[in-house]
């Protein structure tokens, strides 16, 4: 009997019959590998999406003022003393003795005024005084006689009192006439216009023969006199810097055509109150005496050397948030979470702004925060931002 499994029956060898099972297993493994790789790629993509969803931010801490600051403001140079010279008596200008640019001493004659009316009034006042003195002398002697008559009861007490009162009235008339004469003599002396202080004539507004009207009115000044041996410099300091400008603060006054280093000056006084319209503090500086001083009336720049504020913090402009809650910055706190902090702003330095209160020196402030930043948002801190260059106000 023949074996059914023998070669004569045409059956395949065992290794050949196992190949289909191996192919199925291979296909299954390939399918599993593809599915696994897709799952891994999906998870990696999800992780990358999660990472990308957390914004990366650069942070820095507020800066401290480390060196003296330079505050540059427009200024006006004025004489130490300046005054218009007016006439105190009316008449015509007889002569002037000081012209534009003349240096004069205190009491030096500047001009002479011809005042004939004052001369006549002075003569009349002299005559009136002589008349009043004669009447007073007559009233005095009459009063003395009536006193003697009263002792003998030759006149009544009423008549004697009347004579005594008349003597007193005549004496008062003498005093009045004498005072009027002194007044006119003073007016007579005002025909000589003299310098009230040492200085230089910076303006002459009259000439020989001009009509002179006594008193102060527009255009009636005869001369403008100024003491330019020392100079005052007036500066209007903005309100944010007003607390830093005190008496004794040093500065340099730079004028056009002068030295680049300027003239050394010092704050001597301040108005100690802000101008309600300009919100500025008027400050007066004094330039010391010197042979080479700027011209009075010149426009200048005052360079103040402000002392650094050790407590002041400066926040970069590109870190500010302008929200409805006011001026804020975004800071990074524990757990890399965002915390929005409001602060009170002080001076503006251009690239940075002063934080008067509300911030700490250890706050990590986000630079260039996105518009979508919000309280509690998670962030990823990258390398700290470089410090901005020093700003000059």
Q: Render pLDDT for 100-157 as a digit per residue (tens, 0 to 9).
A: 999 999 999 999 999 999 899 999 999 999 999 999 999 999 988 888 888 888 888 8
Residue labelled with tokens 């001597």: 268
Q: How far apart are CA 1 and CA 15, in angstroms?
A: 27
Q: How far apart are CA 172 and CA 161, in angstroms?
A: 17
First to last CA, the chain: 118
Same-domain status, 98 and 170:
yes
**Backbone torsions φ then ψ of 304, nearest 5 degrees:** -85, 140
pLDDT band at 49; cut points 50, 70, 90: low
The pLDDT of residue 112:
95
Q: How far apart are CA 168 and CA 43, in angstroms?
A: 124
Identify the residue with better confidence: 201 or 385.
201
Give which of 195, 201, 198 is closest to 102, Cα–Cα.
Answer: 201
Residue 190 covered by a domain: yes
All residues at 6 or more sequence positions from 79 whose CB lies less than 8 Å from its CB, including other chains: 199, 202, 226, 227, 228, 231, 232, 296
Same-domain status, 276 and 327:
no
Q: How would you label 249-264 residue by residue, b for 16+ Cβ within 10 Å and e otherwise?
A: bebbbbbeebeeebbe
CATH number at residue 345: 2.40.420.20
Whether pLDDT at 69 is above 80: no
Quote the DSSP letter at residue 378: B
Whether pLDDT at 1 is above 50: no
Identify the residue with better confidence: 176 or 240.
176
Same-domain status, 97 and 112:
yes
Same-domain status, 103 and 152:
yes
Residue 133 covered by a domain: yes
Same-domain status, 242 and 315:
no
Q: How would you label 102-114 residue by residue, b for 16+ Cβ within 10 Å and e otherwise?
A: bebeeeeebbbbe
Identify the residue with better confidence: 223 or 261.
223
Q: How far apart are CA 310 and CA 249, in angstroms?
A: 17
Same-domain status, 96 and 146:
yes
Residue 340 covered by a domain: yes
The pLDDT of residue 376:
84
CATH number at residue 245: 2.40.30.170
The pLDDT of residue 47:
62
Please tell me the total count of domains within the chain: 4
CATH number at residue 97: 1.10.287.470
Q: How far apart are CA 280 and CA 271, in angstroms?
A: 10
Q: Enumerate helices (H) and strands (E) in the chain, giving the number of each.
A: 3, 22
Same-domain status, 92 and 178:
yes
Tell me the average pLDDT across 343-365. 81
- Mark out the alpha helices in 61-153 (DSSP H runs): 116-151
The pLDDT of residue 45:
63
Final residue of a domain: which of 278, 306, 334? 306
Question: Which secondary-structure segment (H or E) carries 34?
Answer: helix 14-53
What are the beta bridge partners of residue 292?
A: none
Residue 2 covered by a domain: no
Same-domain status, 116 and 163:
yes
Same-domain status, 294 and 318:
no
Note down the domain range covering 33: 7-53
């Amino acid at each position: 009997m023949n074996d059914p499994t023998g070669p004569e029956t045409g059956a395949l060898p065992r290794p050949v019959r196992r190949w289909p099972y191996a192919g199925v297993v291979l296909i299954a493994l390939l399918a599993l590998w593809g599915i696994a790789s897709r799952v891994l790629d999906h998870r990696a993509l999800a992780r990358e999406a999660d990472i990308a969803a957390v914004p990366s931010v650069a942070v820095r801490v507020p800066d401290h003022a480390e060196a003296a600051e330079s505050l540059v403001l427009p200024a006006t140079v004025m004489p130490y003393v300046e005054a218009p010279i007016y006439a105190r008596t009316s008449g015509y200008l007889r002569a002037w003795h000081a012209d534009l640019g003349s240096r004069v001493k205190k009491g030096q004659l500047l001009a002479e005024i011809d005042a004939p009316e004052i001369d006549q009034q002075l003569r009349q006042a002299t005559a009136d005084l002589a008349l009043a003195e004669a009447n007073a002398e007559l009233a005095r002697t009459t009063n003395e006689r009536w006193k003697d008559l009263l002792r003998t009861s030759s006149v009544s007490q009423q008549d004697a009192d009347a004579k005594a009162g008349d003597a007193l009235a005549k004496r008062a008339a003498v005093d009045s006439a004498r005072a009027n004469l002194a007044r006119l003599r003073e007016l007579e002396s005002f025909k000589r216009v003299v310098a009230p202080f040492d200085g230089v004539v910076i303006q002459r507004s009259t000439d020989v023969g001009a009509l002179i009207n006594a008193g102060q009115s527009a255009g009636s000044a005869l001369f403008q006199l100024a003491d330019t041996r020392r100079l005052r410099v007036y500066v209007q300091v903005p309100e944010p810097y007003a607390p830093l400008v005190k008496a004794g603060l040093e500065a340099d006054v730079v004028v056009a055509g002068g030295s680049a280093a300027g003239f050394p000056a010092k704050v001597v006084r301040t108005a100690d109150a802000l101008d309600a319209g300009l919100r500025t503090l008027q400050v007066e500086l004094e330039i010391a005496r010197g042979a080479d001083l700027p011209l009075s009336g010149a426009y200048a720049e005052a360079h103040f050397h402000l002392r650094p504020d050790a407590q002041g913090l400066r926040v970069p402009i590109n870190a500010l948030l302008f929200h409805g809650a006011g001026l804020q910055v975004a800071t990074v706190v524990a757990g890399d979470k965002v915390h929005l902090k409001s602060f009170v702003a002080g001076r503006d330095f251009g690239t940075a702004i002063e934080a008067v209160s509300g911030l700490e020196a250890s706050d990590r402030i986000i630079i260039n925060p996105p518009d979508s930043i919000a309280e509690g948002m998670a962030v990823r801190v990258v390398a700290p931002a470089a410090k901005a260059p020093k700003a000059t106000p």
